Structure 1
Amino acid sequence: MSGTVGGVNSVLRALVDGNGGLVTRRAASQVLPRWVLEDASRSGRLLRLLPGVYVDAALVDGVESAPPLARVTPILARRAAVAYTGGRGALSHLTALDVWKLRSQPPSEPVHLNVPIGVGLRSWPHLVVHHRRSFAPEPPHALVRDGVPVTRLDRTLVDAWPLLPPADRPATLIGAVNDRLTTPQRIAAALATAPKLADRAALRGLLDRLAAGCRSPLEIWGHDHVFVGPGMPAFQRQARVRLGGRVVYLDLFAEAELVDIELDGAASHADPRDREIDLRRDALLAASGVLVVRFSHRRLLHEPDEVRRETLAVLATRRRQDFVPDPGLRRRLLIE
């Protein structure tokens, strides 16, 4: 018979410690009689987080009346949820967004799992189980990230959309696209498989703006309210150019007029060094014949009509016959 360590069977203790504080009934039953695990649970040395999933009681904290899964760290709660699936599910929705490092999930939110239809798993306090048709916890539906299975990013963004606070929605998708983790087209393809998604039209509208090249809430505002319509050119949004040996992106580039409209966010130039970097970049563009026009966050939001008039005036000036674009500009800047 095995000895005890700290009041727990030594073999069971080794299982718990070797798995970062967790043990499943299935794993314990392979090496120990069932009563050993039950005894550790009854004595309070282990706490049942989910059916068949136990944790070292020393790792449990928080209010005793809270669900057990809410009384351990988020990482431990996710590992417990994955263990509960027995390899048949993957973290999804808001939980997957956290794993993808796009939004930190508050402790008050439950853990989310996707499992195939027909898997006999159900939701529990602080755990939401989503049964999905044609889902499998393997590529292309899921992959392993930070040691846990998680739904692929484009599907995660679509699934999480109606659950996110409205204020968090645009920034989450914009962050994923800006970090080149996915593309508007891939997210749109995932959206096409979710015809009944709540607030689907709003997500579709945001994806249209991202596909048009908008890469910030301010650019979306400008797209919708200022830089479209009569007299405005078909701006290249986030035009990629090589400048001074490095790649930079121009917010809105009118190639025929050689005008770059830059939209400075609310936090722009809080650091003088950032201002110096922008001025140096603007000077290099000017030396190549590109006129840079900057509009502040405040002006764009509170003076959209004036910003529009100024933009049209600048473009009109650059279209005059005495303005001759440098034919070698594209070659030097490698505009893409």
Structure 2
Amino acid sequence: MDPRLRDLLVRGDGLVTRRDVMRVAPWWTVQTARRADRLVRLLPGVYGDAALIRDTDADLPPLARVEPEVARRAALAYADGRAALSRLTALDVWGLRRQPPGEPVYLDLPRGSGLRDRPHLLVRRRSGFAIAPPQVVTRGGLPVTRLDRALVDCWPLLPMVDRPGLLIRAVNDRLTTPQRLVTALAEVPRMSDRAALRALLDRLAAGCRSPLEIWGHDHVFTGPGMPTFTRQARVRVGARTIYLDMFAEAERVDIELDGATSHGDPTEREIDLHRHALLATVGILVVRFTHRRLLAKPAQVRQETLAILATRPRYPMIK
């Protein structure tokens, strides 16, 4: 391989563009390297060291045969500063969902850009889109659409079973907020299953932080006789801050919902008991309902909750 071409590949971590080559060497150096199977054309004007090829299936497009990180850098080199990683690719960059083999690289770019789809690369043109904050941020050295917009954009692309969990995780990990997601949804007036996404965002805005809490909100803990619970209520007990799943403040009752795999560890059970004792010192009663009971006997859980609340004196609001 021509040493000038080799130097460009080293500096580009295995990638080189036609423009870069033409600045330092004649074009025949690329043609010679390709004929010798030392260089592979990944996209128009973008080439990679043949050693980057990992998948031996020659029927796949070259961009699908390299590692995802290489494919993304190649796609961005093809866009030449005019695009950002988006949608399912953005979720991978944000660390929320790994793209499985076979999924293409997604790019967003401003309307009017001349780029088009290529094998294993899907581009989308957006009006008013700019490759700059706040619409685009940099993660790991790569331009990527902001997370709230990426989550909204991916809603129709994801399997239905995976959709709520990703948004819940993003909110729980403080990567975004329900309010930001609502704002992002307003930017996309037309999308499939928009009503379902809006309903989920309403539950997140109300403080629900798990699928079980959402189910309980919809089927058990709202309606006649139920107080307006404060979800994820922050309570100080001495020097400790404790967050309560669903807090009926006037009655000082904390409703905790156990997930399907909760309390398999005796150490975790001991921590919970200590937490309950601390809350009791400030007059807060903790009531726990298991995942199994909540789903199998919602009417019974509702009746028990109302009975417990009815027996409690009403306290002044906690400051």
Bucket of the pairwise TM-score, normalised by the shorter protein: over 0.9
Q: Provide, for residues 194-230 of structure 1, a one-character-per-residue CA deviation record: whole Å limited to 9, x for no partner.
A: 1111111111010000011101100000000000001
- Counterpart check, 1:102 vs 2:90: no
Select the residue among 108, 119, 123 that pairs with 1:129. 123
**Which residue in the other structure is 1:334 paired with?**
none
Cα deviation code 1:56-92 (max 9, x no counterpart): 1111021111111111111111111111110000000
Single out whichever of 44-53 and 236-245 deviates more from structure 2. 236-245
Separation (CA, whole Å) in 2 of partners of 1:266 and 1:164: 24
Range with bigger deviation, 224-233 or 31-40 = 31-40
Which residue identity does 1:230 align to in structure 2? P
1:12 is matched with 5
Counterpart of 2:102, as a letter, is S
Residue in 2 aligned with 1:30?
A: 23
- 2-structure distance, mates of 1:295, 1:89: 49
| Distance across 2 between alignment mates of 1:248 and 1:161 | 33
Q: Which amino acid aligns with 1:132?
A: R
Tell me the SS of whatever aligns to 1:79.
helix
Residue 155 of structure 1 corresponds to: 149
Aligned match of 1:330: 318
Say if 2:282 is the partner of 1:294.
no
User: C-alpha separation between the residues in 2 aligned to 1:42 and 1:136?
Assistant: 39
Alignment check: 8 A CA contact 2:87 2:150 kept: yes
Moved more, 187-196 or 34-43: 34-43
Aligned partners of 2:295 and 2:72: how far apart in 1? 41
Aligned to 2:138: 144
User: What residue is the counterpart of 2:267 in the other structure?
Assistant: 273
Out of 251, 254, 258, the residue aligned to residue 252 of structure 2 is: 258
Unaligned runs of 5+ in 1: 1-7, 332-336
| CA distance in 2 between partners of 1:57 and 1:34 (Å) | 18
Moved beyond 6 Å, runs of 4+: none
Q: Match of 1:187, as an amino acid?
A: L
Per-residue deviation, 1:245: 2.5
Alignment correspondent of 2:39 = 46
Is 1:197 the counterpart of 2:191? The answer is yes
Alignment partner for residue 316 of structure 1, among 298, 310, 316? 310
AA matched with 2:277: A
Residue type at the aligned position of 2:12:
N
Deviation of residue 324 (structure 1)?
6.0
Give, as a single letter, the amino acid of the residue that structure 1 aligns with 2:6. R
* Equivalent residues of 2:165, 2:211 under 8 A apart: yes
Q: CA deviation at 1:243?
A: 3.2
Which residue of the other structure, out of 170, 173, 177, is the alignment partner of 1:183? 177
Q: Specify every segment of 5 or more residues in structure 2 that has no aligned partner in the other structure, as ranges.
A: none
Number of matched pairs: 318
Amino acid at match of 1:109: E
Which amino acid letter does the alignment assign opposite residue 127 of structure 1? L
The corresponding residue for 2:111 is: 117
CA contact (8 A) 2:251 2:314 kept: no
User: In 2, distance between residues paired with 1:47 and 1:212?
Assistant: 52
Residue 244 of structure 1, CA deviation: 4.7
**Structure 1 residue 270, shift from structure 2 partner:** 2.3
Tell me how far 1:242 sits from its aligned partner.
2.5
Distance in structure 2 (CA, Å) of the matches to 1:330 and 1:180: 26
Q: TM-score, normalised by structure 2?
A: 0.97
What's the CA shift for 1:272? 2.1
Q: Which residue in 1 is equivalent to 2:54?
A: 61
How many angstroms apart in 2 are the aligned matches of 1:273 and 1:11? 62
239-248 or 50-59, larger mean C-alpha shift: 239-248
